[in-house]
A and B are shown apart, each in its own frame.
Chain A
Amino acid sequence: MALIAVNVYRAATQAITIDEAYTYNTFVERGVADSVKYYDANNHVLHTILVKLSTAVFGVSELTVRLPSVLGGALYLTAVWRLCSYAFGGGWMMLLAVAMLGLNPFVLDYLSIARGYGLGLAFLLLAMDQLTRYFGDLRRGRLYGAGVALGLAVASQLVFLVPGAGLATAFAAIVLRRARSRASVWMLVDHFAIPGIVTAFVILVVPLSRAIVGHYYYGAVSLSQAVWSLVAASFTPWALSVDLWWFIAALALLVAASGAAFVLVLRRAERPGGGEAVAALAGGTMVFSLAALVAAHHAAGVLYPLERTGIYWVPLFVLAGFGLARRRGARAVVAVVSLLCVVQFAQLFRVSYYRPWMGDAGVQRIVAALRARERGARGVRVSGSWEFEPALNFYRRMYRLEWMEPAVRGAPDDPGDYHVFTGPDAGMADRLGLRVLYRDSLTGAVLAR
């Protein structure tokens, strides 16, 4: 509950970021037809639809734009709690696992920022929870719920296609290994695969009608870059002092061990228990996802996940690690590593900015300074660093700043009534002989005239 409250607080108070504002301006504010005709990887379809609903009902503000993500965050934390309490019991292992999954600053950012990643993560974990529990009670409804959840995860952000397909394959392999008749195959098809496919299809088919591979330009060119982006996102600045190869070795070991757990579960006749099922599912998902990513990279030039597009690896690593730790020695190792991580997470805990978009954190205050100076005059032009263009246009609409002309992307020295510069561009104010009206203490961004 505390983390949900933190997410709400951040969503309500933090300045809009460039990606959020761009998504709002391009896909939410426009009519449905326009937002479909122009496709971009920034359009996280289900999330965009929910933001449209939220802003239509509650009006435009940082909180209403982020409301779907905040709800996704609440769903994620609920799914994490359910899954961990089922798989790891109610003791300290469960609490540690929840802390590892909920306090990671990289993940935490996406549980309130207006992007589709948090929502996708929530549905992925929900599916994993349902599939893990299925091994315990064999309730068919869990298959249906998991299928729909995976479909919604993919509809929230396409990157979840990879772990979604990986999880489905791993689960199907375990179930079919024990199947005694063809009916099990059809049960999986009818109650798991088809609900997932239909759910994702209905939401995505029209928005993706013009999508091409070239739209997916954000990614890593190598696996090591992909791994580094995930580590850096979770542990910077501490990670900067450690050789990348230690991380690669540790994570490779984790993938191999959980992959082995998956194979062991496949070979055994009995159904896996909670922790074992989680390790096997996480391991199988990682192995299949990795294979798919490598194959897609070499066959079609698809880029590897980079930072946020690989966010699903975080819960997979954590769940695999906790799932594997069933003996006392292994538990101790996992506990120590987790405690160190949680301490590190606590040090990185911030509620004043989103780490990947730290430079945007002052734009809200800059707009407030601008509003304090301009009241009702028409045709005020604001130029400066291009990075602020989407956010300025977002706030222009949010506050109905009729006196402000729509911001356009141009050179920092383009003429204007006011200039807004990012921290790195702040020196431009002096070079252009402008008077600095406001300087943001957190980001160094300036408003000048």
Chain B
Amino acid sequence: MGPNFYILLGPALAVAASIALGRLVVRALRVELHREEELVLGFVVGAACLSALVAAMAAVHLDRRGAFVGLTAVVVALALWRTRETAAKRLPRLEWRWTALVAPVFATFGTLYLANAMGTKAADGARILFLFVFSFGRHASAAVMHLAFLVALAMTVLCYGRRYGMPGAGAFGAIVVFTSPVAGAAATSALDDAAVACAVFAIFYLLETRGSLALCGLLAAFALSLRHTLPPSLVFRAPRELALWGTEAGGLLGPVFLLAPLALLALRDPHGRRLVPVAAVLMLAGAADARWMIPALPFLALAMGIALARSRGALPVLAVAAALFSWPGVVGVYADPQAWRIKGLPATPVVVRDADMDK
């Protein structure tokens, strides 16, 4: 088996185990979710559970590849058996024009991100959960696992829009979040920003759906385990620095976020009235650094989507612009050369030696 197989195998098993665990927990707590929500929210909930299980296994020195494969096989089998007869309802279908926009953007940026994540050579976050995948493909596997959280985050934003009858806002939010240069750079590194953002947004989602408070608590604990420190200072970067340049802000959000003030127009909508305050609090907390702003992005993007949804053509135009302006070659045109971002496809393939795997 080639090294890339192991790099992908670890995250694939971890994602499968997370989804399976999540479905089991969601069904056990009788939380009513749609099929797509069960998948993406289940993944986040399951990741929290898996994180706890991995910690327990590490405590008894069972943190080995074979044990993780066994664990995955058991939980997946259990989930398939427990949920075999009761299929949840589907969310309303996404209009074809939005599907035609979301699918290529996700495919293109997904490929770019995956290639970069597989090229990662250093890890710095996502704590205990990475132990699972690290045993298969080291840092690169951890980065791919972290990327799965960004995908889940974007999908959750998409589900939110579909569930509440604003598919355009959801699709726009998903594209803007997924293509944001700092989100891409963070997600393809073995950090924890995308995972934190995903957990925070999942908590909000579950509260909105009057879901289980137990699940919210579980996710809050998970988020806390990932990031237990607050941003250290109340430094506010200029909007152009945060959105366009990324010279001192440690990355850039993307030009479309310069229109963030328009999100205030979402206050006329009941969902907007809940999204905007959360976005504002998270933005104030993270305004010193683009990475710290990542948890605010789904709230902000959805609020912008709601605000602009009534204006014909505005959302598709901005979504396409967001994707175009976030492509590495285009980012290089306006961002600081030193800004933290993905600069293209990795030049050299990653080689993970078997000797490294066994360590």
Contact = CB atoms under 8 A, between A and B. Distances in A.
Given A33-B332, A37-B333, A206-B333, A190 B255 contact: no
Nearest to A210: B334
Given A206-B334, A209-B244, A198 B325 contact: no
Given A191-B312, A198-B311, A198-B318, 8 more contacts: A194-B311, A195-B311, A198-B317, A202-B317, A205-B321, A206-B255, A206-B325, A209-B334
A202 B256 CA distance: 8
B262 interface: yes
A378 to B, nearest CB: 35
Nearest to A194: B311
A191 B310 CA distance: 8
Given A190-B311, A198-B317, A36 B265 contact: no
A311 B196 CA distance: 53
Contacts of B314: 194-195, 198
B265 A202 contact: no
B330 interface: yes
A367 B173 CA distance: 55
Nearest to B258: A205
Contacts of A32: 333
Interface in B300-359: 308, 310-314, 317-318, 321, 325, 329-330, 332-334
Given A201-B259, A209-B244, A33 B333 contact: yes
A238 interface: no
7 contacts: A190-B311, A191-B311, A194-B308, A195-B313, A195-B314, A197-B259, A202-B318
B317 A144 contact: no
Contacts of B311: 190-191, 194-195, 198
B268 A205 contact: no
Given A186-B268, A189-B265, A195-B314, A36 B321 contact: no
A202 B310 contact: no
A308 to B, nearest CB: 28
Contacts of B332: 33
A176 to B, nearest CB: 16
Interface in B122-173: none
Interface of A: 32-33, 36-37, 144, 186, 189-191, 194-195, 197-198, 201-202, 205-206, 209-210
Given A186-B310, A191-B311, A194-B311, A209 B255 contact: yes
B240 interface: yes
A103 to B, nearest CB: 37
Given A191-B311, A205-B325, A36 B334 contact: yes
B64 to A, nearest CB: 49
Nearest to A206: B334
Contacts of A209: 240, 244-245, 255, 334
Contacts of B330: 206
Nearest to A193: B311
Helix, strand, loop or mixed for chain A's interface? helix
Nearest to B268: A186
Q: Which of A33, A36, A190, A197 has the most CB of B within 10 A?
A: A190
Contacts of B244: 205, 209
A33 B331 CA distance: 10
A205 B253 CA distance: 14
Given A195-B311, A195-B314, A202 B321 contact: yes
Counting from the closest, the 5 A-B pairs by CB-CB distance are A194-B311, A209-B334, A190-B310, A205-B255, A33-B333
A201 B334 contact: no
B333 A194 contact: no
Interface string B273-316: 00000000000000000000000000000000000101111100
Nearest to A191: B311
Contacts of B318: 198, 202
A189 B266 CA distance: 12
Contacts of A144: 312
A204 to B, nearest CB: 10
A189 B308 CA distance: 9
B333 A201 contact: no
A198 B308 contact: yes
A36 B333 contact: yes
Interface string B198-226: 00000000000000000000000000000
B260 to A, nearest CB: 12
A202 B320 CA distance: 10
A181 to B, nearest CB: 13
A186 B309 CA distance: 12
A191 B309 CA distance: 11
Nearest to A207: B334
Contacts of A33: 329, 332-333
Nearest to A147: B311
A201 B239 CA distance: 15
A373 B39 CA distance: 77
Nearest to B321: A202
A201 B258 contact: yes
Contacts of A37: 333
Contacts of B262: 194, 197
A188 to B, nearest CB: 11
Interface in B217-269: 240, 244-245, 255, 258-259, 262, 265, 268
B31 to A, nearest CB: 36
A144 B314 CA distance: 11
A28 B268 CA distance: 44
A190 B309 CA distance: 8
A32 B329 CA distance: 11
Contacts of B308: 194, 198
Contacts of B258: 201, 205
A195 B312 CA distance: 8
Nearest to A33: B333
Nearest to A144: B312
Contacts of B334: 36, 206, 209-210
Nearest to B307: A194
Contacts of A189: 265
Nearest to B325: A206
Nearest to B320: A202
B279 to A, nearest CB: 19
A202 B315 CA distance: 12
Q: Which of B255, B311, B312 has the most CB of A within 10 A?
A: B311
Nearest to B308: A194
B314 to A, nearest CB: 5
Contacts of A206: 255, 325, 330, 333-334
Contacts of B245: 209
Nearest to A201: B259
Nearest to A202: B321
